[in-house]
Homo-oligomer: A and B are copies of this chain.
Amino acid sequence: MVAELISVGTELLMGNIVNTNAQYLAEKCAQLGLSMYHQTVVGDNPDRLADAVRTALNRSDLVILTGGLGPTEDDLTKEICAQVMGFALEEDPHTRARIQAYFENNIYKTISQNNWKQAVVPVGARVLDNDNGTAPGLILEKDGKAAVLLPGPPGELHPLFEQQVMPYLQNLQPERIVSRMIKICGVGESQVEDRLLDLIDAQTDPTIATYAKTAEVHLRITAKASGEEEALARIRPVEEEIKRRFGQAVFTDREEVTLEDAVVRLLKQHGLTVSTAESCTGGLVSARLVNVAGASEVFQEGFVTYSNEAKQRVLGVKEETLRQYGAVSRETAEEMAAGGAAAAGTSACVAITGLAGPGGGSPEKPVGLVYMACCLNGQVTVQKYQFKGNRSKIREQSAVRALDLLRRTILDAYGADAGIASDATV
């Protein structure tokens, strides 16, 4: 079954707001196993809106519209859909009573004549009671097609969709769709594609989709089947083969697990604590660790040592090391990591020093040169990177690769057996 979205609102065309409703609804439709090939944003113009609805109903089975259900004269979604699909409009006493009650319970809001416009519904439409606003949701069915009209405010849209639209759509869906996510760090998207070319070429069901993130690649394996078990049975061999090919580069096989989640889980698993010693990243790495609720079990403190003086005083980097090799050097990174672990009394410390630019580069040390070191139980591993991009891109890549260096150092020391943050290691 094919679904598509139409978001109605001039504020989207003007770029005043980000269309988070489209992402929300697209994800829900994917979960429901609905195929989606189109999303459209259109304004409050009657002709353009009517065209958009007609086009969508021609090429899709289900059209979900958001916005344009308000009380003002610019709000046309209901009227246009009724016109295009050939429904008459009449006032719904039940909805009128609910609007009345809504205003009686909201002392801060005064009812205006416009509001009664929201009690008018297409004759024969399913009316979805909205507990968080005055515009009801509507489902219009005709000739095997359906239009679902929902209010734009997320606080009204989400409960309406989850409580009333999802059950409706589940009943329309015979097939079950299941997908698994594999997340990889430290391999470029084109490299990942190359190493999976045979699987991707051969793919019919399950399918493999790659998503490039900053210094990460995410792989989604998706199968459709009559039941979840059948779908998973088709996914598993592909999932295992991908994990075999990428080994330690795979940091999780769970949708919701981030790189910092995987790192924190690994630290907990081995009873380790970590500190950070950051120069060019300026706190990005520690902030990523603190993204994880409960990080306090493994992370208690971090140092942002931007100046050489701070590197010496706080981390104990030697003055001669800075003089001889410079702040951006293998030697300084090493001493930062060892000094950070000692100062914080942690079993591990990850340190980053680099040239984020735009200024400060030289032929020997160009902008984008970053050294990072990981001290684990007194052993220090150092990595050198030459990143591309502007200041923030260099710093973001550095933060991701620093977390990954920490992860890989632990795997090397403790064995990769339980390396992937998966259902097995939650």
Q: Complex formed: what's the CA distance from A23 to B22 in Å?
A: 12
Copies in the complex: 2
Contacts of A105 in B (CB 8 A): 366, 368, 386, 388
Closest to A218 in B: B16
Within 8 A of B (CB), among A273-300: 276, 278, 280-287, 289-291, 293-296, 299-300
Q: Does A89 contact B (CB under 8 A)?
A: no
- Chain B neighbourhood of A187, CB < 8 A: 108
B307 engages A300 (CB within 8 Å): yes
Taking CB atoms, residues of chain B closer than 8 Å to A393 are 132, 155
In the complex, A359→B306 CA distance in Å? 33
With CB as the reference atom, state the residue of chain B lying closest to A108.
B188
Per-residue interface assignment for chain A, residues 38 to 57, with 1 indicating a CB less than 8 Å from any chain B CB and 0 otherwise: 11111101001000100000
* Given known contacts A19-B23, A290-B282, A70 and B189 CB-to-CB distance under 8 angstroms: yes
Complex contact A392–B291 (CB within 8 A): yes
Interface residues on A, range: 35 or more
A385 CB within 8 Å of chain B: yes
A298 to chain B, nearest CB (A): 10
The CA of A72 and the CA of B188, in the complex, are separated in Å by 11
**Closest chain B residue to A281, Cβ basis:** B287
Whether B388 contacts A132 by the Cβ 8 Å rule is: yes
CA distance A364 to B212 in the complex (A): 43
Q: Is B304's CB under 8 angstroms from A283's CB? A: yes
Most buried by B among A14, A113, A281: A14
From the candidates B193, B301, B397, name the one contacting A71 in the complex (CB within 8 A).
B193
Name the residue among A36, A113, A283, A401 with the largest chain B CB count within 10 angstroms: A283
Q: Complex: how many Å from CA A343 to CA B320?
A: 24
Q: How would you classify the secondary structure of chain A's contact residues: helix, strand, loop or mixed?
A: mixed
Within 8 A of B (CB), among A185-211: 187-191, 193-194, 200, 209-211
Q: Which of A190, A200, A299, A359 has the most CB of B within 10 A?
A: A190
Which residue of chain B has the shortest Cβ distance to A401 in the bound complex?
A: B107
Say yes or no for A395: interface residue by CB 8 A criterion.
yes
A229 interface residue per 8 A CB criterion: no
CA distance A344 to B18 in the complex (A): 39
Is A353 on the interface with B (CB-CB < 8 A)? no
28 A-B residue pairs with CB within 8 Å:
A11-B209, A11-B211, A12-B26, A14-B27, A14-B36, A15-B26, A17-B211, A17-B212, A19-B19, A19-B22, A19-B23, A37-B42, A71-B193, A72-B193, A72-B210, A107-B385, A112-B191, A131-B389, A132-B390, A153-B212, A278-B283, A282-B286, A282-B287, A282-B290, A290-B306, A296-B306, A301-B310, A301-B314
Residues on A lying within 8 angstroms of B by beta carbon are: 10-20, 22-30, 36-43, 45, 48, 52, 70-73, 102, 105-108, 110, 112-115, 131-133, 153, 155, 159, 187-191, 193-194, 200, 209-212, 218, 220, 276, 278, 280-287, 289-291, 293-296, 299-307, 309-310, 314, 344, 356-359, 366, 368, 385-393, 395-397, 401
